[in-house]
Every structure is written in structure tokens, then in C-alpha cells.
């Protein structure tokens, strides 16, 4: 019986969900600062058709005086570079944020070393369409092997098909506008 209990404990320790518990003990301020968005996996309708036209984005994460996250991003649009700002409100966990008015039901970090990369899961509901998006943030213009492997692992574990994943086009024009 003790062997079974020990075995069950070891399985729990090595499951990806353990990382979620571990991240809950860290300070969200470590996510702050500039990031490049280099890869995306999404269940959003139309993503598979549009994924080849998506470019690297710049993301700047700051903290508001109310301790909410402010996420400023810039991306290529039809009229050139466009910026988007959203404020995310803290849920009961230090690592889960939301803004239902914008369709963001959950924004959470699944894996990170804060120094080089962060894997971010966003649960959205836009115009009655609910979907998940997984993003690979990197402090550098090129993701580390560790970051790419973790992104691939999380994508697979969350049920994203290979055609629902994309490494973004390597044009940093818009990304650099907010990251400088």
C-alpha cells in the first residue's frame, strides 16, 4: 500500500499541472517588462487560415497602481503597425488574470524561467466563440531550445493540432516599436 501511495505521489510531482501550483507561489512582477511573441497555438476559428500571415509581436507587461497587469502589444495590421492595450484583473490566484469585458476569461503563465521565456495560456470568449490560445513569449528575438520544447509540449498536452500552431514570421518592425 505504501508503494502505491509513493508511486501516486511521484506521478503528481512530475505532472505538468504541478508547475501551475509552483508558479502560484512566485511573484507576478517577474513577468513584467518587454517580450517578443514568437509562436502561437490557437483554437480560434480562422487561425489555421491566417497563421502564415502573422508576424512577431512586441509585448510590454506592466503593473498598474491597483496591481493589475497592463499588456501593451503591437502587431502588423492592414494599415501597418497597430497597438493594443488591455488591463487584466487579478483573480484569486496570483497567477490568474481576467477581463471578461474584453473577452479574456483567463490569462495565466503555464511555464517560465522569467529570464528567457514564458508560456502563456489565454482563455477567450469573443462573439460567443470560446477558444484557447497558447503563446510563447521570449526576452530575445530567437527562442531558446528549452522554450521551444516546452511550448511544443504544452501545445500537445492541451490538444492543439500541428496545424493550429505557428512560429510567427521573423519581421520585428512592429515589435521593436514598443520594446525600445
**Nearest CA among 1, 172, 166, 13 for reference residue 81:** 172
Is 18 within a domain? no
pTM of the model: 0.83
pLDDT digits (tens, 9 = 90+) for 11-65: 333 333 333 334 445 566 788 999 999 999 999 998 998 888 899 999 999 999 9
Asked whether residue 133 is domain-assigned, the answer is: yes
Indicate whether 157 belongs to any domain.
yes
Confirm whether 63 is domain-assigned. yes
Number of domains in the chain: 1
Residue partners of 19: CB distance under 8 A and separation at least 6? 110, 111
CATH number of the domain bearing residue 113: 2.40.128.20
What is the distance, to the nearest Å, from the Cα of residue 43 to the centroid of all Cα atoms in its chain? 14
Residue pointed to by grid coordinates 483567463: 106
**Which helix H or strand E contains 75, and what residues bound it?**
strand 69-77
Residue 91 has pLDDT above 50, yes or no: yes
On whether residue 124 sits in a domain, the answer given is: yes
Residues 155-172 have a mean pLDDT of 94
pLDDT at 30: 81
Domain-embedded: residue 5: no
What is the band of 10 on the pLDDT scale with cuts at 50, 70, 90?
very low
Contact 115, 139 (CB under 8 A): yes
Average pLDDT for 128-141: 95
Q: Which domain holds residue 64?
A: 26-179
Residue 1 predicted with pLDDT over 70: no
16 in a domain, yes or no?
no
Closest Cα partner for 108 from 71, 77, 79? 71
Q: 153 lies in a domain? A: yes
Amino acid at each position: 500500500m505504501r508503494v502505491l501511495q509513493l508511486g501516486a505521489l511521484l506521478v503528481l510531482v512530475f505532472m505538468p499541472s504541478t508547475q501551475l501550483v509552483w508558479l502560484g507561489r512566485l511573484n507576478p512582477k517577474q513577468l513584467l517588462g518587454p517580450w517578443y511573441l514568437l509562436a502561437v497555438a490557437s483554437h480560434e476559428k480562422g487561425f489555421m487560415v491566417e497563421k502564415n500571415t502573422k508576424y512577431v509581436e512586441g509585448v510590454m507587461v506592466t503593473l498598474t497602481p491597483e496591481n493589475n497587469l497592463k499588456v501593451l502589444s503591437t502587431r502588423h495590421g492592414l494599415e501597418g503597425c497597430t497597438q493594443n492595450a488591455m488591463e487584466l484583473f487579478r483573480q484569486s490566484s496570483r497567477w490568474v488574470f481576467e477581463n471578461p469585458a474584453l473577452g479574456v476569461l483567463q490569462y495565466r503563465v503555464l511555464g517560465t524561467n522569467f529570464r528567457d521565456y514564458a508560456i502563456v495560456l489565454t482563455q477567450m470568449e469573443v462573439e460567443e466563440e470560446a477558444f484557447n490560445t497558447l503563446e510563447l513569449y521570449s526576452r530575445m528575438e530567437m527562442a531558446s531550445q528549452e522554450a521551444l520544447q516546452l511550448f511544443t509540449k504544452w501545445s500537445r498536452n492541451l490538444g492543439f493540432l500541428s496545424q493550429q500552431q505557428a512560429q510567427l514570421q521573423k519581421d520585428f518592425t512592429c515589435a521593436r516599436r514598443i520594446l525600445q
